[in-house]
Amino acid sequence: MTQPGKYIYCIIRCPEPRAFADVAPLAEGGGVVHAVPHDGLAAVVCDSLAADYESTRANMLAHQRVLERVMREFTLLPVRFGTVASPPSPEGAVRRLLGKRDQEFGGLLAEIEGKAELGLKALWRNEKAVFEEIVAENEAIRRLRDAIQRQSAQATHFDRIRLGELVSKALAQKKAREAAGIMARLRALACRSVENECPLDRMVLNAAFLVEKAREPEFDRAVNSLSTELDGRLSFKYVGPVPPYNFVNITVSWQEL
């Protein structure tokens, strides 16, 4: 029978073995999710017969559920999805990882302790209305649009390309201003913040905030206030606490251990 490896979810402070029997492992036949301790730190793992995992929705959600379960009791450092310590000595490899990088992990845990990651996305409610704003605010765009409307599509091919470029630039500037206004209100309440790429055209902001747990209610109120003020213009998607993916992401090179 093939000896299982160890799929690693996260790093925590935990001086002794610990089971998380109430959450399903990512790996099929992975047994009980458990902590492998070493000198006060521990890696949360499950058994795994696979060396590689596809980034499917099911796998990512299974990984996420384990982190959310561990978060109920521990501050954690997320380990990159798909990290597996392989046979012949996976548990030994995990302990070597904890021993070799103990200062790094300890420092990161101290930095994250008592804090939570909160995520906020802001999206235009009405893209057509935003386009009309851009036309009203920009004389060059307005004149070019009006000139195009008076001519045939064939005759205005290059003007249409130019108009698209101007609108795209103006939209990016408008997004940046809107995002800056939101960030100015929220950044002061967070220890750290990150602005990520917006994967949708109608998305104005995609940000994460590392917030002291004692200030979460204050941060919630600030988000609710912004949502009320901008309700006719933007819709907000506010999530958290979530694992601190945007502020910690542990990667492992087994060859270096």
Q: How far apart are CA 108 and CA 20, in angstroms?
A: 23
More confident residue, 159 or 137: 137
Q: What is the pLDDT of residue 30?
A: 72
High-pLDDT (> 70) share of the chain, %: 90
Instruction: Give pLDDT, residue 257.
Output: 65
Q: Are 43 and 98 in contact (CB under 8 A)?
A: yes
What's CA 117's distance to the chain center, in Å? 9
- SS3 of 13, please? strand
Phi, psi of 86 (to 5 degrees): -95, 160
**In the prediction, which pLDDT does 89 show?**
87
Summarised one tens digit per residue, pLDDT across range 48-89 is 887 788 889 999 999 999 999 999 999 999 999 989 988 888
1 pLDDT band, cuts 50/70/90, is: very low
What does the pLDDT read at residue 152?
62
Mean pLDDT, residues 153-175: 73
User: Does the pLDDT of residue 233 top 90, yes or no?
Assistant: no
| Tokens read off for 180 | 């800056």
In this prediction the pTM is 0.82
How many Cβ atoms are within 10 Å of 72's Cβ, its own excluded? 8
Residue 27 has pLDDT above 80, yes or no: no
The C-alpha atoms of residue 16 and residue 2 are separated, in whole angstroms, by 27
Beta-carbon neighbour count of residue 14 at 10 Å? 19
For residue 234, CA distances in Å to 127, 174, 202, 227, 230 come to 10, 13, 10, 8, 6
Q: CA 120 to CA 73: how far, in whole Å? A: 24
Q: 């408008």: which residue's tokens?
A: 174
13, 75 in Cβ contact below 8 A? Answer: yes
**By mean pLDDT, which of 27-36, 65-74, 131-140 is the weakest?**
131-140
Residue 159 has pLDDT above 90, yes or no: no
Residues 193-209 have pLDDT tens digits of 999 998 888 899 999 99
Question: Which range is least confidently modeled, 1-10, 52-61, 120-129?
Answer: 1-10
Cα 220-226-232 angle, rounded to 5 deg? 135
Instruction: Give the 3-state secondary structure of residue 219.
Output: helix
pLDDT (mean) for 22-38:
87
CA-closest candidate to residue 58, choices 35, 76, 31, 81: 81
CA distances in angstroms from 106 to 14, 84, 172, 213, 246, listed in the order given: 12, 21, 40, 20, 18
- Asked whether the predicted pLDDT for residue 8 surpasses 70, the reply is yes
